[in-house]
Amino acid sequence: MANLHVLTGYYGYLPLQRREEEQHAYQEAIRIYRASIAKSPSPENYNNMADAYRWLGDSYLQDGAYELVDNAYKNSIAVYDEGLSRFSKTPQLIGSLIEQKANMALYFAQQWRKKKKFINADTALRVAVETARAGLQTDLLQSGLYDVLEKSGKEGEVLKSDVMSRIASSGIRADTPKELTNEIAATIDKTHVDKLLWPAGAKLDGNLLQVKQSQSWDIPPLIPGAWLQLTEAEKQVELQRIPPGTDSERRIVTRIRKLPVTFYPNAVLYEAEVRRGERESGIFDYVRSGRDVLVLDGTSNPIHDFNKKPVVDEGVSRTLLRLESLEQATQYVHFFTAAIGGESGTFRIIDSAADLPMPLTVPVSDRKNLDRVIMPLQVRQTGDGQWNAEATVRYGNSLRYAVLHLDGNPRQIPRMSADTSVGSEQPILTEHFVHGVRVMSDYNYQKSLLEERTARESKAKRWKQAAQAQGALVSLMQ
Amino acid sequence: MTAADKAEELSGKFVGLSWYQLLAKDFPGALASSEAGLKLNPAKRALDTNRTHALLFLGRIKEAEDIYRKHLGQKISQDTWEKVILDDLKQLEEDGLSSPDFSKVREIVTPHSSGAGFAR
């Protein structure tokens, strides 16, 4: 019904220049949208109401009733602000409203400029630019907002040029245009996106950007896939519902990433990067499938218990775990092995040496030798619908070939049918679950380096150096 | 790895450290390292050998003599305390480290010797 009023105003009364009826139609539409919002608020309703205010303002603009125009345009922006506030806790809903608000403010700037209302135009343009920038600061992946900034920059140049022309041809107070052009120049400056893409607190030092926090994650994800880092707003929402883990009260969550997983219904694997102190960082892993949450702590029982949870799927009772497709079986075998650990660390299926976390000092030749040994994961379905996986598994700092069997029993799988060592004491960082958090360690690597150094110095009878190396080893072990 | 296993492994590293410190003539360091290892694993006799040598080189003769005597007849891995001490003295001398008191130590730890004390 509200849309009908807008259409009547726009297509019916506007061409006939019947302003009062036109404006009444928009006002009626606004009233209906307001009632709809009270009943069921949605970004679409807010956008429609803001749009109706725009048509109303445009209608007043034809009359030259600038105060009423200003009022209608401001109401339009206020409606967007109300919507943004309303959906502030659902970041996935506000992206479109931010873009619509920014575009609307840019439109108002253009309208005001055409009527030579330069101060209003400058104000509206500033709203457009600040809205777009604020939106991008919460989530950089909004291409529409970059378009707004680009168009706003161009609009700013036109506006500045018009203001300058006006100065030359009119008797505007001398100080106003100068202030105005300065303000417009400052707004144009804000349309440049370069620094917007920098992380908070970053500074250019010589030829390289200096960042406060490593932009790549220190610890690789639990399983391969197209991980997506949550925006700051999404992170804040997720923090409200993050499951408690052991020792969680002493952790600070710095960022969260997520990956949809196929082996549970509607499931997402989350990884929260947590810090305790300046240097210690780890990953808190959990899976959310509908309302069920699985917290990974390096043991298999929570996973087995989760797997066998009863669910009803399209009227059929079954358990949570799904191993019907190759994708599900492959992802699950990666997931399960990485999520459990033994004394030497986690079990990780690896497809190439690139999957092995190695210290930078490891020579290329050693990396190449490791790469030659690594056999990529092969998963095959058996005639009766079960799965066999042949994999290279990293355990601690050793490598093994293993055959894993997934028989569909959620309590038992996967089972290791056979395995053999293909490399031990390799220069690989190890990974452990410590107090429910996944951490990486170069302990074994550093230890073996110091042991080698001690042996070398001792053989050469350089006792002082041997004592120093052994002392470093003791310190490391302590 | 249990806590006991870790203590055993680390105390073994203290044996190596205190030995290298003896050879580097860092006797206070050798004493401190062997004592740190003994705190972790008091039964580690190899640490007692290095501690005793360190005491000897530091001139704390009476303390050293008491320990050399105290562990006579005890086992260190497959060897006896006496054999390990004699092997250590030989190794230290080969690496240029000696003491006038070595002969007395040898008397104490050599089977069937009179076991006379140090002339001080």
For A223-241, the DSSP string reads S-S--EEPPHHHHHHHHTT
Q: Are the C-beta atoms of residues A461 and A369 closer than 8 Å to each other?
A: no
Rounded to the nearest 10 degrees, the angle between the axes of helix A463-477 and helix B27-40 is 30
A40-54, A229-243, B81-95: the lowest-pLDDT one: A229-243
Task: Tell me if chain A has a CB within 8 Å of the CB of B57.
Answer: no
> In this model, does residue A246 exceed pLDDT 80?
no
Q: A477: which chain B residues are within 8 Å (Cβ-Cβ)?
A: 9-10, 13
Question: What does the alpha-carbon distance between residue A170 and residue A162 come to, in Å, rounded to a whole number?
Answer: 12
- Report residue B75's pLDDT band, with 50, 70 and 90 as the boundaries: confident
State residue A250's pLDDT score. Answer: 63
Question: What does the alpha-carbon distance between residue A124 and residue B26 come to, in Å, rounded to a whole number?
Answer: 78
- Report residue A90's pLDDT band, with 50, 70 and 90 as the boundaries: confident
Q: A343: which chain B residues are within 8 Å (Cβ-Cβ)?
A: 1
Q: What ipTM was predicted for this assembly?
A: 0.90
Q: Are the C-beta atoms of residues A375 and A392 closer than 8 Å to each other?
A: yes
Whether omega before A414 lies within 30 degrees of 0, making that bond cis, reads: yes
Distance from CA of B21 to the nearest CA of A (A): 6
- How high is the mean pLDDT of chain A? 88
Q: Which amino acid is at A79?
A: V
- A91 or A341: which carries more pLDDT confidence? A341
- Contacting residues for A101 by C-beta, under 8 A, at least 6 apart: A50, A77, A80, A81, A84, A127, A131
- Contacting residues for A15 by C-beta, under 8 A, at least 6 apart: none
Average pLDDT of the residues in A189-195: 86
Range picked from A247-251, A331-335, A353-357 for highest mean pLDDT: A331-335
Rounded to the nearest 10 degrees, the angle between the axes of helix B61-70 and helix B102-109 is 20
Question: What does the alpha-carbon distance between residue A12 and residue A9 come to, in Å, rounded to a whole number?
Answer: 5
Distance from CA of B33 to the nearest CA of A (A): 9
Task: Tell me if chain A has a CB within 8 Å of the CB of B23.
Answer: yes
What is the per-residue DSSP string for A38-72? HHS--HHHHHHHHHHHHHHHHHHHHHT-HHHHHHH
- The bridge status of strand A341-342 relative to strand A345-350 is antiparallel
CA torsion A309-A311-A313-A315 (nearest 10°) is 140
How many C-beta atoms lie closer than 10 Å to residue A312's C-beta?
A: 8
Whether residues A467 and B29 touch (CB distance < 8 A) is answered with yes
The dihedral through the CA atoms of A49, A54, A59, A65 has a sign that is positive
Q: Quick one: how many helices (H) and strands (E) in chain A?
A: 14, 17
Whether residues B16 and A463 touch (CB distance < 8 A) is answered with no
Q: Which of A456, A463, A465, A478 has the most B C-beta neighbours within 10 Å, making it the best mutation to test the interface with B? A: A463
Whether residues B23 and A471 touch (CB distance < 8 A) is answered with no
Strand partners, A362: none
Average pLDDT of the residues in A35-50: 90
Question: What does the alpha-carbon distance between residue A263 and residue A10 come to, in Å, rounded to a whole number?
Answer: 52
- Report residue A410's pLDDT band, with 50, 70 and 90 as the boundaries: low
CB-CB: which of A463, A464, A470 is closest to B13? A470
- Report residue A411's pLDDT band, with 50, 70 and 90 as the boundaries: low
State residue A279's pLDDT score. Answer: 61
Whether residues B29 and A463 touch (CB distance < 8 A) is answered with no
State residue A16's pLDDT score. Answer: 66
Average pLDDT of the residues in B63-79: 89
Average pLDDT of the residues in B88-115: 85
State residue A412's pLDDT score. Answer: 63
Whether residues A474 and B13 touch (CB distance < 8 A) is answered with yes
CB-CB: which of A343, A458, A478 is closest to B20? A458
- A208 or A173: which carries more pLDDT confidence? A208
The dihedral through the CA atoms of B103, B109, B114, B118 has a sign that is positive
The two tokens of residue A311 are 């669910």
> In this model, does residue B113 exceed pLDDT 60?
no
State residue A118's pLDDT score. Answer: 93
Q: How far is CA A218 from CA A215, A221, A222, A357, in A?
A: 9, 10, 12, 10
Question: What does the alpha-carbon distance between residue A227 and residue A447 come to, in Å, rounded to a whole number?
Answer: 33
How many C-beta atoms lie closer than 10 Å to residue B86's C-beta?
A: 16
Q: How far is CA A469 from CA A355, A360, B6, in A?
A: 31, 21, 19
Task: Tell me if chain A has a CB within 8 Å of the CB of B95.
Answer: yes
